[in-house]
Amino acid sequence: MTYQKVYARLIKDKAKELGFSACGIAKAEFLEQEAPVLEQWLKSGMHGQMAYMANHFDKRLDPRLLVDGAKSVISLLFNYYTPLTQTDKTAPIISKYAYGEDYHQVIKEKLKHLLFYIQTEITEVNGRAFVDSAPILERAWAQRSGIGWIGKNANLINKGSGSFYFICELIIDLELEYDTPTTDHCGTCTACMDACPTKAIIKPGVVDGSKCISYFTIELKDSIPQEMKGTFENRMFGCDICQDVCPWNRFSRKHGEPKFDPSAELLEMTKQEWIELTEEVFNKLFNKSAVKRTKYNGLKRNIDFIISAYPNTGNT
């Protein structure tokens, strides 16, 4: 057995111990197939006001520009699914991923533990940990590492657990045994494309980010276009619609990370309480949450926009 295979097995075992639901490894190299796709996506303006998506084009396609001498990209998945939902079915909806503490901090700590383990228990390496914090095509690397395929909704789907998880990476200068890319298992299903209320999924695997509800409620800093009124299906932060309808998510199981559990106060907020949300309550509810990214005024804008579309019932 080669050292590359032994080291890869040790890393995957440690990842599982730390709570990651999947771990795969790919060779660090230029993403030749993805380059023209990314270029066209940007040229078409599908990134909207997400100007950062056009930055560091070369780094997005070559991890060796992020870590000197990089040999391996270790992709990991961390489950955030919960069957819990907000109790008031007429209340504005928050995406499941933002129910608990900010995933950036929670997962970054686990990644640091994994990198430290590699450096102290396996061999000396140079590397960096990334959690949605650098110009990396995470889904492309995850697919290459064999832990999922990119579905028609452009989310990474894992055959055994669906798509409700965060993707993160370790890029290190150590050669390891590499995994085989996963094949596509969406078949003829178009559930996600049919369900998207803003028709943001323009073709299989391609999402016009500037039409996505998550973009409007999180990324967009200007006023939400009036022509979008009535299309949000009560989503005030993020959107799970294309995941909720995905058949593969019938295999989703509750996560095991207490820091991702929602507070009872959040789940029990009524529609009226969201309408009357104060900055003080916002700061209390989302003290350690990814929702803080919108700031109070941003979330209030979203709530007001949704309510204005359905002033009488709040239903979609």
Q: What's the number of domains the chain is made of? A: 1
- pLDDT at position 1, please? 83
Give the C-alpha separation, 56 to 45, whole Å. Answer: 16
Render 154-206 in DSSP notation, one character per residue. S-EEBTTTBT-EEEEEEEES---PPPPPPPP--TT--HHHHH-TT--EEETTE
pLDDT digits (tens, 9 = 90+) for 89-142: 999 999 999 999 999 999 999 999 999 999 999 999 999 999 987 899 999 999
Phi-psi region of 209 (alpha: psi -120 to 50; beta: other; left: phi over 0): alpha
The total of other beta-carbon atoms located within 10 Å of residue 190's CB is 13
| pLDDT above 70: residue 313 | no
Structural domain that includes position 202: 1-83+96-222+241-261
Residue 90 lies in a domain: no
C-alpha to C-alpha distance for 160 and 248, rounded to whole angstroms: 8
Q: Give me the residues paired with residue 165 across strands.
A: 79
Distance (Å, whole) CA 168 – CA 48: 24
Instruction: Specify the pLDDT at position 312.
Output: 57
Identify whether 41 is part of a domain.
yes
Whole-number Å distance between alpha carbons of 160 and 178:
20
If you ran DSSP here, which 8-state letter would residue 291 be given? Answer: G
Instruction: Report yes or no on 214 lying in a domain.
Output: yes
What is the rounded average pLDDT for all residues in the chain?
A: 95
Interval 209-266: pLDDT, tens: 999 999 999 999 999 999 999 999 999 999 999 999 999 999 999 999 999 999 999 9
Q: Give the per-residue pLDDT at 315.
A: 45
Q: pLDDT band at 175, cuts 50/70/90? A: very high
**Does residue 267 lie in a domain region?**
no
CA dist., res. 256 & res. 16, Å (int): 12
Supply the residues annotated as catalytic.
132
The answer to whether residue 316 is domain-embedded is no
Phi, psi of 201 (to 5 degrees): -85, 95
Task: Provide the pLDDT confidence category of residue 186 given band limits of 50, 70 and 90.
Answer: very high
73 within some domain: yes
Contacts of 51 (CB under 8 A, 6+ apart): none
CA distances from 97 to 58, 73, 128 (A): 29, 24, 24
295 within a domain of the structure (yes/no): no
Residue 52 pLDDT level (bands cut at 50, 70, 90)? confident
Question: Would you call 127 helix, strand, or coil by DSSP?
Answer: strand
